[in-house]
Amino acid sequence: MEPNEIQTALASAVEEVLETMCFASVLAGAEGAVPPEWDGAAPAFTAELHFEGSPSGGFRVGVPLKLARVVGAGFLGREETEVSDSQAEEVVCELANMICGSVLSRLESKATFQITHPELAPPEHGISFEGAGTNRWFDLGDGILAVSLELQQTV
Amino acid sequence: MELHVLIVDDSPAMRAFIRRVLDLSGLEVGLCLEASNGEEALRLLEDNWVDAVLTDINMPQMDGEELVRRMSGHEVLSLIPVLVVSTDRTEGRIQKMLTLGAKGYVTKPFAPETSREELEHSLGVVHGTE
């Protein structure tokens, strides 16, 4: 699978999910875990899941706390101030689930995958995707959302 | 027509989203029950009649596949249309759920109009032309 193909699938999947489910738009995006000027160690909700199929692998979504509330508000149809930490966490997990499903169907539309439930890393870990597969970040205006897709080599 | 629905998903956020989308779609939703897995859904269906069930697939305790299988095998519950709402868009999975007895399949992400179209299709609603 070509790296460009994966980047395109990541970009299309994130835009589709954010626009359809969270009524949010992507202003800019590029390859890499985070933009050079952005602090990846800032507190963030990071949801990670694994999938089995052809290919198997892992997927992660990292969203800074403030942006998680903005995205959560769009998803739930509420004001940012009405979105609790646990609701923001749930929405980030749902985003991971939906984006991963969308990416996999774009890369392998005929294959069947088993996707595990997303697990959250402690917010203080920030977003640290370096060296973990194909990374891409997205600027939503209110912050940066980052995704990482790791595909296991099939023999 | 006022629709009574049961939403089955282990994520409270997703249940809230689906409920909101149903409202946005213009459908008249009456009773809106919620369950976090298939077992809970079957318990609710023992005491409540709904016009449609919207269910996820991957859930703890009893998943959507087993829920659809049990409902299809039940004399009364088999009359309730089930619409699957899932991130899994693979052809094999969609075919499997439809073969088990689901009346429709919506892949996440989805727009309000998609859920309305699929629900109406599942319920056999026919629009007249004026």
Residue A90 sits in a domain of what CATH number? 3.40.1550.10
Domains annotated for chain B, with CATH where assigned, are: 3-123 (3.40.50.2300)
pTM of the model: 0.87
Please, where are the H alpha helices in chain B? 12-24, 38-47, 64-72, 91-100, 112-123
3-state secondary structure of A112: coil
Of A150, A148, A140, the C-alpha closest to A64 is A140
CA distance A64 to chain B (A): 18
Burial of B117 (0-12, 13-18, 19+ CB in 10 A): middle
How large is the ipTM? 0.80
Q: Which of A77, A94, A113 is nearest residue B20 as measured by Cβ atoms?
A: A77
- Taking the CB of residue A83, how many other CB atoms lie within 10 A of it? 22
Structural domain count of chain A? 1
Task: Give residue A77's domain range.
Answer: 3-151
Which residue of B14, B90, B111 is in closest CB contact with A105? B90
The tens-digit pLDDT sequence of chain A (155 residues) is 777 899 999 999 999 999 999 989 999 888 877 777 777 778 889 999 999 988 899 999 999 999 999 999 999 989 999 999 999 999 999 999 999 999 998 888 777 788 888 999 888 887 777 666 899 999 999 889 999 999 986 55
Q: Is the pLDDT score of B97 beyond 50?
A: yes
Cβ–Cβ under 8 Å, residues A80 and A70: yes
The values of phi and psi at residue A110, to 5°, are -95, -15
